[in-house]
Structure 1
């Protein structure tokens, strides 16, 4: 098995206090869509910046597209495509001008560069806006153009750092379809960081869950969900105090394998959940803890994330203030 991306003990510290990435190992086969799942501050973006040579690791090694990121960073940059969270486009140019220039900078002849730009504009549905200045593009249009820029030189490995954050559902779906098409028809390897559970479940062949700078779970979406091995009963209460008391009560219920509390909810992992619901309700009522609602379901990636990290995945959209001291 040929690896498109591999890392051993990859670490990044920003001074003595901020430990953004703590010695992670990665192995991404060629032709795979690899989902890197975690909330803001988990270390996802810092990892991408090290793998794409934009940050020098504090420790560890990494190879991308067969090239050592420390020994030959210029060659890594030639071989990969990168679309980061921050869309950096020259807004005085048109979309066609920008893509043609990017292709020329990667050494493509003028005619080939123009043809490549036209093809990519068609793929990301920007043909009608191709000759308008980028400053007039919407946020979704700029995101799609940025993706086209990452693909203009035909890379075999592409890093997409939260490519659909802030996009409307229709544009998000269009990006997903294009990623799937490139992977399926051309074998392009994608390293996709995301906050969206649906995105990881839909696109990724393998998923790694990142939390506090460490990989805390890894496997295919199906494997990760199957690893729960139980039904999940989520019980909501009126306040956090009730939820905390209920968690203690439910730990002793027959068939319960694990109980996790988050704010005003308790997640109960138990076998044969349908048969257990009535008993759970009676036990809570007897304890003076009536539930506001109960939801029984099969495990999802959110349940996997909760079990691996102890908290739900909180999606933070652009413009939302982030906690002080966190790493991206």
Structure 2
């Protein structure tokens, strides 16, 4: 069954002055209620695509639909159903969290008890109750970023654009914001389009992702399917420290095995880059046993999104 799309980008093209082509037939779809990751190197076209989707600039050609609306012919309707969190904080630092949220809500026409209830809910959901009436200039980076995301949600948007939401945060604050984004996406049934340079972030959060390079999508799928398609894992084998290794002999024997791409021996650790890791490990252990090499333990380390990214972008 085909899912309903919240975002549809079809054959998008954009060239800037000086014949700089930012987008070259960019196409992808985002399912309603999902978290979609858009990743790629600097200059790949991500920022230009976001600007077009959020009505801040126009494409030279192509079609973009946000919800039920065309960004070119119905930009005002698009703006009412989206929230956008840019990389730079939009928080008014001389106001409190509560004041920031009230002001943002009023800009969207919210008033009275409806606004008050919404502000209270967001302060609670984002863990900002204790600092709600403190000047934002005194907040930590994590608190400011939480408030940024809360501001983007004040009017209950259908679609939320998150541009580098955790840049500059420490690991604890980043992890906390990840959990909030996941929870918020499900509780409020909001579609999230996320751009990030933290690949573990898109692996953790995204239901699906697209890798963009030179203005077009070069790989797309779920994080799990993209890692599986790579079919390259690491095998680490720890050897008895008393074992006298004939390094050249071991490297030659292992390199001759099918599905082994790289052999590295680091002290008493053998590191292998392989395909079909489970079956290949059996062959490796047989070779080591034949050479009277005593194995202490083994581990298979699955492919990562970092490796998928490097394969497709070469960067």
- TM bucket normalised to smaller: 0.7 to 0.9
Moved more, 6-15 or 35-44: 35-44
Partners of 2:309 and 2:285 lie apart in 1 by 23
Query: Contact conserved, 1:104 with 1:110, CA < 8 A, in 2?
Result: no
Q: Is the 8 A contact 1:11 1:58 kept in 2?
A: yes
For the residues of structure 2 that align with 1:109 and 1:271, how far apart are their CA atoms? 60
Unaligned runs of 5+ in 1: 235-248, 260-265, 280-294, 312-328
By how many angstroms is 1:257 displaced?
Answer: 8.4
- 1:48-85 Cα offsets, whole Å, 9 max, x none, are 11111112112211011211111111111110111011
Q: How does 1:86-101 map to 2 (within 5 A)?
A: 86-101=88-103
Q: C-alpha displacement at 1:189, in angstroms?
A: 0.8
Name the counterpart of 1:198: 200
1:307 aligned onto 2:300: no
Conserved? CA contact 1:100–1:116, under 8 Å: no
Q: Is the 8 A contact 1:65 1:80 kept in 2?
A: no
Give the Cα separation in 2 of the matches to 1:51 and 1:233: 43
Number of equivalences = 277
Q: After superposition, where does 1:228-307 map in structure 2 within 5 Å?
A: 228-232=230-234, 255=258, 270-272=275-277, 273-274=280-281, 275=283, 297-307=301-311
1:144 aligns with 2:146: yes
Where does residue 161 of structure 2 map in the other structure? 159
SS in 2 for 1:164: coil
Alignment of 1:1-328 (within 5 A): 1-232=3-234, 255=258, 270-272=275-277, 273-274=280-281, 275=283, 297-311=301-315
Q: CA deviation at 1:258?
A: 7.0
> Is the 8 Å Cα contact of residues 255 and 271 (structure 1) preserved in structure 2?
no
Task: Give TM-score, length-normalised by structure 1.
Answer: 0.76
Task: Evaluate the alpha carbon distance shift between residue 214 and residue 278 of structure 1 in structure 2; reply closer, same or farther with a 3 A threshold.
Answer: farther
Unaligned 5+ segments in structure 2 are 237-251, 263-270, 288-298
Shift of 1:90: 2.0
Q: Deviations over 1:302-325 (max 9, x none)?
A: 1211221123xxxxxxxxxxxxxx
Following the alignment from structure 2 to structure 1, what is the Cα–Cα distance between the partners of residues 134 and 109? 25
Superposition TM-score, scaled by structure 2 size? 0.79
RMSD, aligned CA? 2.8
Is the contact made by 1:31 and 1:183 (CA closer than 8 Å) also made in structure 2? yes
Q: How many angstroms apart in 1 are the aligned matches of 2:52 and 2:272?
A: 36
Q: Which range is displaced more, 214-223 or 178-187?
A: 178-187
SS of equivalent to 2:225: helix
CA distance in 2, matches of 1:102, 1:69: 23
Say which one has the larger Rg: 2
* Residue 267 (structure 1) shift: 9.5
Once the two structures are TM-superposed, the CA of residue 230 in structure 1 deviates from its matched residue by: 3.6
